[in-house]
Amino acid sequence: MAAMGGGGGGKDGGGGMAAQAGRLGVVASVAFNLAALAFYLRRRYFGGDAAAAAARKAEAEVAPSSGKPPVTKDSIINLDHGDPTMYEAFWRGGAGERATIVIPGWQTMSYFSDVGSLCWFLEPGFEREVRRLHRLVGNAVADGYHVLVGTGSTQLFQAALYALSPPGPSAPMSVVSPAPYYSSYPAVTDFLKSGLYRWAGDAKMFDGDTYVELVCSPSNPDGGIREAVLKSGDGVAVHDLAYYWPQYTPITSAAAHDIMLFTVSKCTGHAGTRLGWVHTNFVPNHLKFEQILAQCDWFFWHRWALVKDRAVAQKMSKFIELNTIGVSKDSQLRAAKILKAITDGYDRAPAAAVAGDDDDDSSSRLFHFARRKMVSRWAKLRAAVAASGIFTLPDELPGHCTFANETVSAYPPFAWLRCGKEGVDDLEGYLRERKIISRGGGKFGADGRVVRISMLDTDEAFAIFVDRLAAMN
């Protein structure tokens, strides 16, 4: 869930991704005109027939989008969303070949993936690769947990709120998170004005008994390691572990919380695939056995009688059934292939054996590729901040990583950049005037002198960003 999202969609007043899209439209438009000019020139000098044939072929193949247009030195640089295009370079290598998927027209037509399963829309191959990857990385316990799949972890976050809400007529359950919190939490919680739950702000200021605390660790936006701050009453913590992967932070232990959310986009870079997953084995106090039975009919009853620990998983699955009648199987097949390519890569070249070796071939080892990128980008960012003199960043957090088997620093996927310059009270606006789109601290429950910057964009966009930053003073 800590992926990205509109942020400004709710009370924050911004226009979200659509507004960003609007801004970028001008860039896209310029890019389109350049492309059209190039096409014209090519046609003029290399013959119209070949160009027309190429165009026809492209149309016949239903050419996919390539995301945002390429940047130039004068472009608006959009680092608002955590669009993980940094990873494309890895997947264009050998691992990408192994992750290629072929889906014949007759495959996976049914709504059902496994009719006998609690999560009837979960592709068995995807579940297998999820469990295999967690065993490799050691970042979360999967054995003994139910695994559910969602259309991104955003959908699973809403499913968790639905599943954890007390049944019957009662006041909406409070949803909280310690500030600075992920900017989409308030908007996604409140956009439908649900009577089941409502956003209640900073967990550190909260004083009630029935709540869900969202624990995003490492934290979006600031990269910090978090634990639940509330412990009282009937409250439940939902752990958003979107960034608990070894390229971003030391893996210090296998997480074993009640409800843990993950997303493909920040693990592998495939945001367009829209897949998240959750581990849970949880039954909160208010989900009494009789209530679970009351939701089930005669046949289901017999199954449930044996498996009452599946209460939350069953309600989350129900949410996804009502919201989208399951989750794209095509995406699950593709994600399974992608996760498999990652784990297979480490089967060939184990992680710890070559840890710290900067010369090794990282073409088949995703986490090593991504960590190297993050180390390099953070070094450049810290150098730019030092050159500028008006900014500060959070301190580096080192720890022993069980995956790499060495002590490493955290290199978060977002930079939480603060400005100390006199008169700059709206850092987001200050950067926007300099053609850098970031997300202002106000959307995270923080002040306006801080912004969140994505560290996962393309090399080209990142390079232009740090150059501009270094020149500010």
Stretch that binds a copy of itself, among 253-261, 294-302, 369-377, 417-425 (CB under 8 A): 294-302
Q: Is 415 helix (H, G, I), strand (E, B) or coil?
A: strand
What is the C-alpha to C-alpha distance for residues 210 and 88, in angstroms, rounded to an integer? 43
Q: Is 457 helix (H, G, I), strand (E, B) or coil?
A: coil
Alpha helices in 256-328, H assignment, sequence order: 264-268, 289-294, 298-304, 311-324
Decide if residue 319 touches a copy of itself (CB under 8 A).
yes
Q: Is 77 helix (H, G, I), strand (E, B) or coil?
A: strand
Which residues, 13 to 42, sit near a copy of itself by CB under 8 A? 13-25, 27-29
Beta-bridge partner residues of 176: 201, 213
Stretch that binds a copy of itself, among 139-147, 216-224, 333-341, 387-395 (CB under 8 A): 333-341
Decide if residue 45 touches a copy of itself (CB under 8 A).
no
Which residues, 117 to 156, sit near a copy of itself by CB under 8 A? 117-118, 120, 123-126, 128-129, 151-152, 154-155
What is the C-alpha to C-alpha distance for residues 457 and 454, in angstroms, rounded to an integer? 7
What is the C-alpha to C-alpha distance for residues 218 and 229, in angstroms, rounded to an integer? 15
Which residues, 339 to 368, sit near a copy of itself by CB under 8 A? 340-341
Is the bond leading into 218 cis (omega within 30 degrees of zero)? yes
Nearer to a copy of itself among residue 322 and residue 386 (C-beta):
322
Side chain identity at residue 193, one-letter code:
K
Decide if residue 451 touches a copy of itself (CB under 8 A).
no
Name which position in 109, 144, 168, 433 contacts a copy of itself (CB under 8 A).
Answer: 109
Nearest CA among 88, 45, 46 for reference residue 64: 88
Decide if residue 188 touches a copy of itself (CB under 8 A).
yes
C-beta of 396: minimal distance to a copy of itself in Å? Answer: 28
Name which position in 73, 74, 110, 143 contacts a copy of itself (CB under 8 A).
Answer: 110
C-beta of 139: minimal distance to a copy of itself in Å? Answer: 22
What is the C-alpha to C-alpha distance for residues 412 and 422, in angstroms, rounded to an integer? 27
CB atoms within 10 A of CB 62: 6
Decide if residue 272 touches a copy of itself (CB under 8 A).
yes
Stretch that binds a copy of itself, among 62-70, 135-143, 391-399, 464-472 (CB under 8 A): 62-70
Centroid of chain to Cα 199: 21
Nearer to a copy of itself among residue 39 and residue 300 (C-beta):
300
Beta-bridge partner residues of 236: 212
Nearer to a copy of itself among residue 338 and residue 393 (C-beta):
338
Decide if residue 435 touches a copy of itself (CB under 8 A).
no
Nearer to a copy of itself among residue 23 and residue 382 (C-beta):
23
Output DSSP code: residue 255.
B
Nearest CA among 188, 210, 228 for reference residue 2: 188
Decide if residue 116 touches a copy of itself (CB under 8 A).
yes
Stretch that binds a copy of itself, among 10-18, 174-182, 223-231, 239-247 (CB under 8 A): 10-18
Phi, psi of 311 (to 5 degrees): -55, -50
Name which position in 11, 44, 56, 92 contacts a copy of itself (CB under 8 A).
Answer: 92
DSSP characters over 11-64: TT---HHHHHHHHHHHHHHHHHHHHHHHHHHHHHHH-HHHHHHHHHHHHHTTPP
Nearest CA among 239, 184, 243, 180 for reference residue 215: 239
Decide if residue 296 touches a copy of itself (CB under 8 A).
yes
Here's the x/- map for a copy of itself, 229-268, by CB under 8 A: it reads as ------------------------------------x---
CB half-sphere exposure, 189, CA atoms < 13 A: 26
Nearer to a copy of itself among residue 351 and residue 366 (C-beta):
366
What is the C-alpha to C-alpha distance for residues 126 and 308, in angstroms, rounded to an integer? 25
Q: Is 372 helix (H, G, I), strand (E, B) or coil?
A: helix
Which residues, 167 to 186, sit near a copy of itself by CB under 8 A? 184
Name which position in 47, 195, 356, 398 contacts a copy of itself (CB under 8 A).
Answer: 195
Name which position in 75, 217, 249, 273 contacts a copy of itself (CB under 8 A).
Answer: 273
C-beta of 418: minimal distance to a copy of itself in Å? Answer: 23
C-beta of 250: minimal distance to a copy of itself in Å? Answer: 26
State the number of binding residues for a copy of itself (CB under 8 A): 122
Name which position in 174, 219, 331, 454 contacts a copy of itself (CB under 8 A).
Answer: 331
Decide if residue 56 touches a copy of itself (CB under 8 A).
no
Contact 122, 275 (CB under 8 A): no
C-beta of 89: minimal distance to a copy of itself in Å? Answer: 8
Decide if residue 325 touches a copy of itself (CB under 8 A).
yes
What is the C-alpha to C-alpha distance for residues 287 and 164, in angstroms, rounded to an integer? 8
